[in-house]
Amino acid sequence: MKKKESYSLPLMHDSQIPLAFPVNKNTANVNGVILAGDIGATKTNLSLFEFHKGLLTLIREKSYHTKDYNAFTEMVCSFHRDKLPVINGICLGVAGPVIKGKVKGTNFPWEIDSEEISRELQVNSVTLINDMEANAYGLAALRKTDFEILKEGSNIPGNAVIISPGTGLGEAGLYWDGAHYHPYATEGGHCDFSPRSVLDWELWQYLHQKFGHVSWERIISGPGIYGIYQFLRGFRGIPEPKWLQDKMQQGDAAAVITTVAHEKRDPICIETLDLFVRYLAIEAAQFALKTKATGGVYIGGGIVPKILRMINREVFSENFVDAGRMNPLLHQMPVQVVLNDKTPLLGAAYYGATHLEYD
């Protein structure tokens, strides 16, 4: 029998990344069952946790294709059955801006309303937070083995940021108060892509003709990888080989491109991966400068951990530290990749635990 996974609430021990949770209560007196969700455009991950004396124990988890369902409650009815325990609290990290307990997904058609979920599922404690906030809160549960250093830096206390390329591009900040980090959501991934070279300008024109507004998300994401590839294929005038065309039709285009690039089997795939890494480094540095993130940059999401061995770290570092007079500051900012794919679910579960009522 598989051993159940358990996690200590970060407020009750010295965490590598100490976070301040929004509800100040003695969680040792709080018990209950929490449904945590990480709702993205491509997939939704749901986990059921038992919370007892500051310890989260995983009961059940399952992943769903988001667009296979018409509403979140429909998905929960599929997930929560077979005489599972009564849910005491729900916390969902959702890919979209949360306004007054409501959110409409940026890249999927649902509208999620915390009051409606509470009423339909008969659960009093229902909280919605941005998926990147959940990611940030989840950092508190992680250990050294859950990170890999992409760029070295100095150990200077201060603000931090997390940037996560996936189906979209998520970004969140972590304000440092001198003792703890306070996560906050942003929609920075939708800010304008800013070209630095003639090639960048050509890419901007190509994407502008297709989409109008060209954000960083159009480039630093799974669809962005494919967009860069399509642009380069036409711009360089190199026809797509039949074997590669067949691979593209059989699987995820972005995954195929990065794998072929790593195998050095196609020059356009190689250039695509290098450009993706370059743009990721540039936007990560810009976000870090805007927040003075001396505490570090964390890279999460579904793409970078999978392609970490394929990333040219010199390309990343050279483009990260490329802001003229601010280069000495950027040199001091460490960049780490988050390897634990449960991070957003743990963040949602912890956030939900702090909102449970006392026994």
Options 3.90.1720.10, 3.40.367.20, 3.40.50.300, 3.30.70.260; CATH of 145-338: 3.40.367.20
Domain with CATH 3.30.420.40 in the chain: 6-140+342-353
Chain-centroid distance of CA 96 in Å reads: 12
pLDDT of residue 26: 56
Q: Which of the four pLDDT bands, split at 50, 70 and 90, describes residue 214?
A: very high
Which CATH architecture does the domain made up of 6-140+342-353 adopt?
A: 2-Layer Sandwich (3.30)
pLDDT confidence band for 82 (50 / 70 / 90): low
What percentage of the chain exceeds 70 in pLDDT? 92
For residues 353 and 87, give the distance between their C-alpha atoms in angstroms, rounded to a whole number.
12
**Distance of alpha carbon 283 from alpha carbon 60, whole angstroms:** 36
**Residues facing residue 94 across a β-bridge:** 39, 130
Residue 299: predicted pLDDT: 98
Helix (H, G, I), strand (E, B) or coil at 314: helix
- What pLDDT does 15 receive? 64
Q: pLDDT tens digits for 290-328?
A: 999 999 999 999 999 999 999 999 999 999 999 999 999
pLDDT of residue 108 exceeding 80:
no
Judged against a pLDDT cut of 70, whether residue 1 lies above it is answered with no
CA distance linking residue 132 with residue 137, whole number of Å: 9
3 state DSSP class of 178? coil
Q: Which helix (H) or strand (E) holds 90?
A: strand 89-94
Q: Are 43 and 63 in contact (CB under 8 A)?
A: yes
* Helix segments in 139-241, DSSP class H: 198-211, 222-236
pLDDT in the model for residue 111? 87
Residues of the chain with CATH 3.40.367.20: 145-338
Query: What is the percent of the chain where pLDDT is above 90?
Result: 72
Q: Is the dihedral of CA 197, 167, 127, 23 positive or negative?
A: negative
- Answer with the residue of higher pLDDT: 55 or 94: 94
Q: Give residue 11's pLDDT.
A: 45
For residue 99, the 8-state DSSP code is B
CA 343 to chain centroid, in Å, comes to 9
> Average pLDDT for residues 335-347, to the nearest whole number?
95
Asked whether the predicted pLDDT for residue 14 surpasses 80, the reply is: no
- Widest distance between CA atoms in the chain: 67
